């Protein structure tokens, strides 16, 4: 189940401490994932995001800016990861997708990205781009397709991630909403 805090209604200060991502048991033999909610990341928590991205070897030198929106992925009142969007009209760059190590492999990454795509669709974004060195298979399962760097729209090609921070060998992927 996905629940999404709208982009226009950040819930400042709501991001809570990390969660280890335990599955919730209902009946014997049935294991169900808890609901994942995306909450706007309060500005005062950007340092924690930067540290998490640093630990995951992801770009973190360009987190400030009017076009950038970051979210905490919250399960059972604890954060399991982060994800962000840079918005340029109908195009957007998905960035900073990270699930805490202890919570990986439990489906939270998929739920987090699906929730972000829901937000992107709701605010009128038509194409979501991303660069990845390590997770092309993960994003492929979420409907992203490989693209040539020359296909990137000018606004996406001009982002710091695209132009400077991600290696030229990173895979460019795109999903149409």
Ligand X SMILES: CC(C)(COP(=O)(O)OP(=O)(O)OC[C@H]1O[C@@H](n2cnc3c(N)ncnc32)[C@H](O)[C@@H]1OP(=O)(O)O)[C@@H](O)C(=O)NCCC(=O)NCCS
Which of 13, 111 has the CB closer to ligand X? 111
- Strands 2-4, 24-25: pairing is unpaired
- What's the min distance (Å) between Cβ of 54 and ligand X? 11
Q: How many CA atoms lie within 13 Å of 2's alpha carbon, on the beta-carbon side?
A: 17
- What's the min distance (Å) between Cβ of 107 and ligand X? 4
CA gap 5, 26 in Å, rounded: 26
Residue closest to 116 by CA, chosen among 134, 99, 136, 133 = 99
Residue closest to 173 by CA, chosen among 128, 130, 135 = 130
Which of 88, 138 has the CB closer to ligand X? 138
Which of 8, 31 has the CB closer to ligand X? 31
Which of 23, 25 has the CB closer to ligand X? 23
- What's the min distance (Å) between Cβ of 137 and ligand X? 3
Token couple for 4: 């999404």
Tell me how crowded residue 48 is: count the other CB atoms within 10 A of its CB. Answer: 17
Which of 7, 33 has the CB closer to ligand X? 33
Which of 45, 124 has the CB closer to ligand X? 45
- What's the min distance (Å) between Cβ of 112 and ligand X? 7
CA gap 4, 23 in Å, rounded: 20
Strand partners, 40: 71
- What's the min distance (Å) between Cβ of 49 and ligand X? 13
Name the site residues for ligand X (rule: CB under 6 A).
Answer: 56, 58, 97-99, 104-110, 130, 132, 134-135, 137-138, 141
- What's the min distance (Å) between Cβ of 153 and ligand X? 19
In contact, 175 and 128? CB cutoff 8 Å: yes
């Amino acid at each position: 189940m996905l629940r999404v805090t709208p982009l226009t209604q950040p819930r400042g200060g709501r991001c809570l401490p990390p969660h280890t991502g335990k599955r919730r048991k209902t009946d014997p033999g049935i294991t169900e994932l808890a609901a994942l909610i995306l909450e706007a990341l309060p500005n005062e928590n950007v340092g924690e995001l930067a540290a998490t991205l640093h630990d995951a070897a992801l770009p973190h030198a360009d987190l400030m800016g009017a076009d950038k929106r970051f979210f905490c992925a919250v399960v059972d009142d604890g954060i399991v990861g982060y994800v962000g969007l840079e918005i340029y009209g109908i195009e957007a760059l998905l960035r900073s997708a990270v699930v805490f190590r202890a919570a990986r492999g439990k489906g939270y990454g998929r739920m987090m990205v699906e929730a972000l795509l829901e937000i992107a669709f709701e605010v009128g974004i038509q194409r979501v781009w991303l660069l990845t060195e390590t997770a092309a298979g993960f994003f492929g399962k979420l409907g992203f397709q490989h693209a040539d760097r020359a296909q990137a729209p000018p606004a996406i090609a001009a982002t710091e991630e695209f132009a400077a921070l991600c290696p030229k060998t990173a895979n460019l992927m795109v999903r149409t909403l």
